[in-house]
Structure 1
Amino acid sequence: MARRQLPSLNALRAFEAFGRHGRMTLAADELCVTHGAVSRQIRQLEEHLGVALTEGPRTRLRMTEAGLKLAQALSPAFDQIEAAVPRPVQAGPRPLVVSCLPTFAMKWLIPRLPVFQAAHPDIPVRVAESNGPFDFKGDGVDLAIRMRFLGDHHSDDSEVTPFMEHFHGPVMAPELARKGMTLDEICAMPRLLTRTFVESWSDWTRNRDLASIPDPVSTQEFDHYFYMLEGAAAGLGVAIGPWSFVQRDLASGRLVAPLGFTPGRSSIVALTPLDGAGEGALLFRDWLLAEGASTPHPPEALAPHAPDASFAPITRSRAHS
């Protein structure tokens, strides 16, 4: 068999972590190394490949199109390796397994998780990223976090607890935005989609009570929400971003939301076993309810064709009622 011509696995791992998080500091925290170490690994990977994988200023680095393509391939490859690695018999308390939407876990849940761990240091939590169906017993899941759309039938084996409302709206890189852009101009820009929810634009159009919107000049599809949002931050086009996914990127200035956000016809829910959840799962569910209630609402959507949409990061807060 021919010898594989692969770059350094450490460099690939560093770049994959940066691709998921979108920030060097978060990738460094995950890998337990310094920001500079991640930066050097990525630079060495670019030199080895002879291709630029990142661009932009150091304080707001983003992936190039080649970088996005590589990152999309690396994440499932590392997932397969992780799943295949044998594990020793678990010592100590069994972790609370939380099955969660990948981008929601990355952008909302994990940054808040230290609060739960500080309050309950005796309950280790393992976040299992998943978009699809699951089985509480077969998959060893204690609690799941999913998006539940209005009219969806409840599962026979789950107790459904909504803990946060869903808002969404168009987001883009600040370099693409300019004052005075109309709704039609924004909707006609290159449009970014994710395979996990290709209906995002039609869903937003319906929730905005718009009869129609202009066709985009082009469309580009990504495998996951977080890659689509990185594509938006890289300036590839405009995407429909859920508020819970983009709140931190708006605050940092990596993304802007010129039309604000519209309430969606869905909510984010916690699912626990109908035949009895464990004490840890119930404590985690109650914590989700408290965190959801304290998450600020986004700004309301501006009127269609608003001539003076604001591109400033969002700072206003309002607790859920």
Structure 2
Amino acid sequence: MHDLNRIALNGLRAIEAVGRLGSLNAAAAELGVTPGALSQRISRTEAQLGQPVFHRSAQGLRPTETGALIVARLSRGMAELAAAVALADPLQDDVLNISAAPLFASRWLIWRLPRFQAAHPDIRVRIEPSVQMAMPGLGGIDIALRVGRGDWPGLRSEKMLDQRVMPVCAPALAARIREPADLLSLPVIRENDRLQGWREWLAPHGLSPGDLRDGPEYADGGICVDAAISGQGLFMAWETLAADPLADGRLSAPLPGRAETGQGYWFVTATQGRRKPAIARFRDWLRRELRHGPDHSLRLS
């Protein structure tokens, strides 16, 4: 503990935030300082530690081998500090602060939250949309809802659902599709020039993404879904994003079959510290919604 006297706590917070978020700008925003000030804080702390924690490059800051070990332990330590502070505020047990990817929050979660609120009127839910992975236990965040492989060190990750994709389009276009080869005659909507999920879906049918036609390109998956609804072409959509427009008839899935992406929907919480009872209640509700929603469109097979 004596060694801590020579290291400024705000410098350790800076290292932990940059290492966890993978971005100087994101860490600066979380800590409420400018990127320049944060960079100087990290440099001073590295000098105090006696060795660099990050590699500097044109792509940004990347932890050194030792730096990665330091960041992992700092994250666990910061979570413990946050849990200790939370013990002084027991009245917050009725509030859940949830970080979620903006697209998942706006296209799926927000439309189902009224059901949770009706079942649990004593719990207040606050949604914080964030592209960056939030650290449960820090910054007041109780839960992070993320798509990925569940490999977030120092956190408890519970898989809610496997992520699966399928081609979708407007009903008028779907009427022209009878077999997988028919997809090759229609324009394909791309997200950031990517054909994510197409290889996995096409391979069992002896087809490849190289066989697909060009189509409009957008920088957001939600806009791509809207483009498909408007009849601009085919889009390889996540089941969650397409669930509601499929249920109300704005979209069609013209062919059977869902492709596994190797990723999943994860319920991420802190590994240490006191857990609010409301966390388990929200987890159980979310699991039911994802797997057995009213339209059963996401039920695992």
Whether these two folds match at TM > 0.5 is yes
**Relative to total residues, which structure has the larger helix share, 1 or 2?**
2
Q: Match for 1:241: what amino acid? A: A
TM-score by length of 1: 0.57
SS of the residue 2:189 aligns to: strand
Quote the Cα distance in structure 2 between the aligned partners of 1:217 and 1:316. Answer: 32
Runs of 4+ with deviation above 6 angstroms: 315-318
Q: Does 1:186 align with 2:186?
A: no
* Equivalent residue for 1:204, pick from 189, 201, 205: 201
Contact 1:243 1:261 in 2 (8 A): no
Alignment of 1:15-30 (within 5 A): none
Q: Structure 1's 158 and 178: CA in aligned 2 closer, same or farther, altered over 3 A? A: same
* Equivalent residue for 2:271, pick from 274, 299, 311: 274
Aligned residues: 210
Q: What whole-Å deviation, never above 9, does each CA across 1:170-227 have from its counterpart, x for those lacking one?
A: 1111122224543122134211122397523234335x46452453332332222111
Contact 2:100 2:128 in 1 (8 A): yes
Q: Structure 1's 122 and 195: CA in aligned 2 closer, same or farther, altered over 3 A? A: farther
Q: Structure 1's 181 and 209: CA in aligned 2 closer, same or farther, altered over 3 A? A: closer
Alignment of 1:155-304 (within 5 A): 155-195=152-192, 199-206=196-203, 208=204, 210=206, 212-213=208-209, 215-264=211-260, 265-276=262-273, 277-295=275-293
Q: CA RMSD in A?
A: 3.0
Contact 1:184 1:213 in 2 (8 A): no
SS of the residue 1:292 aligns to: helix
Q: Structure 1's 194 and 292: CA in aligned 2 closer, same or farther, altered over 3 A? A: same
Contact 2:239 2:298 in 1 (8 A): no
Q: Structure 1's 217 and 249: CA in aligned 2 closer, same or farther, altered over 3 A? A: same
SS of the residue 2:211 aligns to: coil
Quote the Cα distance in structure 1 between the aligned partners of 2:272 and 2:193. Answer: 30
Quote the Cα distance in structure 2 between the aligned partners of 1:118 and 1:164. Answer: 24
Mean Cα deviation higher: 127-136 or 232-241: 127-136
Contact 2:180 2:205 in 1 (8 A): no
Aligned to 1:132: 132
TM-score by length of 2: 0.60
Post-superposition shift, 1:252? 1.4
Q: Structure 1's 318 and 251: CA in aligned 2 closer, same or farther, altered over 3 A? A: closer
SS of the residue 1:258 aligns to: coil
Q: What whole-Å deviation, never above 9, does each CA across 1:91-125 have from its counterpart, x for those lacking one?
A: x8574121122232233222221121122222111
Quote the Cα distance in structure 2 between the aligned partners of 1:180 and 1:108. Answer: 27
Quote the Cα distance in structure 1 between the aligned partners of 2:247 and 2:234. Answer: 18
Structure showing greater Rg: 2
SS of the residue 2:144 aligns to: strand
Contact 1:295 1:320 in 2 (8 A): no
Post-superposition shift, 1:241? 1.0
Q: Structure 1's 209 and 282: CA in aligned 2 closer, same or farther, altered over 3 A? A: farther
Percent identity, aligned pairs only, is 29
- Unaligned ranges ≥5, structure 2: 1-28, 33-90
